[in-house]
């Protein structure tokens, strides 16, 4: 599942499906395809937290950086929400009620690094839960930050942000060089959605 020989749908510039290719071909040739970015929020008595995952040191892009808790490609035969929930369960051992997963917007992503080309229609999702449970080894590097701290960090009002373990224990401060920040996505899609939901 989700390997280089996975089959992905590809699209033209008008968003029309034009065929299917392997994931390896899609990224080697920079073919337009769809991905999901999951912003996962935990609501508790102290407010709202956002979960992140530290990328492995062996990753081709941004090794060792803090990133979204989940990004995923889609199987050609699955819907968007179905694909997100499936990936959360498969990679993190986290079962999410479909009612708590919302498609909140989309944007275009272009990344060119060496022979790797990511030309993606990003579907942005908010997943909101009361208590996070991560049960798989892939989830060992999951951390969280307070939403307001993260917002201040992205806007440049703070130059560091405290990070906490998934169960709420303080770990350390993080700094801009520690992140694949996805600033545009947060400012244009995620923050307006969350501010609206909170109000």
Instruction: Tell me the pLDDT tens digit for each residue of 31-73.
Output: 999 999 999 999 888 889 999 999 988 887 899 999 999 999 9
- Dihedral of CA atoms 185, 124, 56, 53 in degrees, nearest 10, equals 90
- Please indicate, yes or no, whether the overall pTM of this predicted structure exceeds 0.75: yes
Higher pLDDT, 146 or 77: 146
Structural domains of the chain, count: 1
Q: What is the mean pLDDT of residues 154-160?
A: 98
Instruction: Look up the domain containing 88 and give its range.
Output: 7-198
Residue 100 lies in a domain: yes
Tokens of 117: 């080309």
Q: What is the mean pLDDT of residues 166-180?
A: 94
Task: Report if residue 1 sits inside a domain.
Answer: no
Q: Is residue 2 part of a domain?
A: no
Higher pLDDT residue, 5 or 165?
Answer: 165
Number of residues that this document lists for the chain: 199
Scored b (16 or more CB within 10 A) or e, 44-57 reads eeeebbbbbbbbee
Please report, for the domain that includes residue 19, its CATH number: 3.90.79.10
**pLDDT given at position 138:** 57
pLDDT of residue 95: 86
Condensed to tens digits (0 to 9), the pLDDT of residues 73-131 reads 998 989 999 999 999 888 888 888 999 999 999 999 999 999 999 999 999 999 998 87
Compute the radius of gyration of the chain from its Cα atoms.
17
């Amino acid at each position: 599942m989700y390997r280089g020989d996975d089959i992905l749908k590809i699209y033209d510039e008008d968003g029309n499906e034009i065929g299917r290719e392997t994931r390896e071909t899609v990224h080697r040739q920079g073919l337009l395809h769809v991905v999901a970015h999951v912003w996962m929020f935990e609501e508790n008595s102290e407010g709202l937290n956002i979960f992140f995952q530290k990328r492995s040191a062996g990753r081709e892009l941004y090794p060792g950086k803090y990133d979204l808790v989940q990004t995923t490609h889609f199987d050609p035969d699955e819907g968007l929400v179905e694909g997100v929930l499936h990936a959360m369960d498969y990679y993190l051992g986290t079962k999410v009620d479909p009612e708590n997963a919302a498609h909140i917007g989309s944007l275009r992503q272009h990344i060119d690094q060496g022979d790797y080309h990511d030309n993606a229609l990003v579907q942005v999702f908010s997943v909101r839960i009361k208590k996070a449970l991560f049960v798989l080894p892939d989830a060992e590097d999951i951390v969280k930050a307070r939403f307001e701290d993260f917002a201040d960090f992205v806007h440049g009002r703070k130059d560091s942000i405290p990070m906490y373990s998934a169960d709420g224990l303080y770990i350390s401060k993080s700094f801009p060089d520690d992140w694949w920040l996805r600033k545009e996505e947060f400012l244009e899609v995620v923050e307006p959605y969350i501010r609206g939901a909170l109000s």
